[in-house]
């Protein structure tokens, strides 16, 4: 390794350290802001435990339609009992003295990370900016805005659509001899982990956008490797033991891959055309 390359490598490490320090400070500040609303976030995460979710409303509406149009079927299968309010009073439980405090810390850290996403993406942009053209550097604001919104949309999609499905499915196993007894740490850790996973899943098109702008991937390359994307999605989702969670992670992940193919085709095509013209 030449002296120039060694110097360049050290400069990159110094720059990376500088960006990481700013990111850590931003997350700590975000954590401080989020600390006061950690209890509200926990209450929102606990909502599906009541048994009253959008799923119950959808089920009632479907059964109402069946009752109006097919009263015989409604009576034969006694669907009326399915529309009875089955609200429960499930509560989270903890066994360690300081467990709620540490859970509040974890929630605050994740919330603080989300609040500091614009700064984090700005630091990422500054780190890669030297390798961009002048025209590409003008995309700073669109990049930060899109990347932040993508992560937030992924997290919101999980909390409002997927999370109630998982908890509702879990509560469906309750019976006279089987009662749920959710542990606070296991419950919150599971939710926070999936929030991060879904946020990162929705970042996939942004990552592919950057890679396609650098000419590292193309839409045709991604399209040819769909089968590997399915396999990779299944392997990543398989780290979660239950089949339901694996399914709800795998499907959005692969759908984001399909979106990424079109992102690479739209934004990578012009790059390819420019290279051809220069040749």
Higher pLDDT among residues 77 and 156, named by residue: 156
Give the confidence band of 83 by pLDDT, cuts at 50, 70, 90: low
Give the confidence band of 213 by pLDDT, cuts at 50, 70, 90: confident
Residue 274's pLDDT is 46
Residue 169's pLDDT is 81
Please answer whether residues 268 and 210 qualify as being in contact, where contact means their C-beta atoms are separated by less than 8 angstroms. no
What is the percent of the chain where pLDDT is above 70? 86
Strands (E), the chain: none
Give the confidence band of 272 by pLDDT, cuts at 50, 70, 90: very low
Highest mean pLDDT among 106-110, 206-210, 211-215: 106-110
Tell if the pTM clears 0.75, that is, is over it: yes
Q: Is the pLDDT of residue 242 over 70?
A: no
Give the confidence band of 25 by pLDDT, cuts at 50, 70, 90: very high
Q: Is the pLDDT of residue 4 over 80?
A: no
Taking only the tens place, the pLDDT of each residue in 116-139 is 999 999 998 888 777 667 777 777
Q: Could you give the residue ranges of the DSSP H alpha helices within 86-181?
A: 99-115, 117-128, 134-137, 140-157, 163-171
Residue 273's pLDDT is 43
Q: Which helix (H) or strand (E) holds 257?
A: helix 243-278
Tell me how far apart the 2 most distant CA atoms of the chain are, in Å.
85
Residue 53's pLDDT is 74
């Amino acid at each position: 390794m030449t002296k120039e390359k060694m110097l360049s490598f050290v400069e990159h490490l110094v720059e990376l350290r500088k960006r990481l320090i700013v990111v850590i400070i931003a997350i700590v500040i975000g954590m401080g802001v989020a600390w006061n609303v950690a209890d509200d976030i926990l209450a929102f995460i606990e909502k599906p435990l009541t048994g009253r979710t959008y799923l119950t409303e959808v089920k009632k509406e479907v059964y109402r339609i069946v009752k109006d149009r097919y009263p015989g079927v409604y009576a034969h299968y006694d669907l009326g009992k399915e529309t009875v309010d089955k609200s429960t009073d499930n509560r989270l439980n903890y066994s360690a003295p300081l467990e709620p405090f540490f859970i509040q810390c974890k929630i605050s850290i994740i919330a603080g990370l989300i609040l500091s996403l614009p700064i984090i993406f700005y630091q990422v942009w500054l780190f890669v900016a030297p390798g961009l053209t002048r025209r590409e550097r003008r995309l700073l604001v669109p990049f930060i805005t899109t990347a932040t919104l993508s992560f937030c949309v992924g997290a919101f999609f999980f909390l409002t659509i997927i999370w109630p499905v998982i908890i509702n499915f879990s509560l469906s196993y309750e019976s006279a001899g089987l009662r749920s007894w959710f542990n606070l740490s296991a419950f919150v850790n599971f939710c926070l982990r999936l929030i991060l996973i879904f946020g990162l899943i929705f970042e996939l098109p942004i990552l592919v956008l950057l890679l396609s702008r650098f000419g590292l991937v193309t839409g045709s390359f991604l399209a040819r490797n769909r089968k590997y994307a399915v396999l990779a999605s299944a392997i990543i989702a398989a780290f979660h033991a239950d089949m339901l969670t694996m399914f709800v992670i795998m499907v959005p992940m692969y759908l984001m891959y399909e979106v990424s193919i079109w992102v690479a085709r739209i934004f990578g095509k012009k790059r390819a055309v420019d290279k051809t013209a220069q040749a």
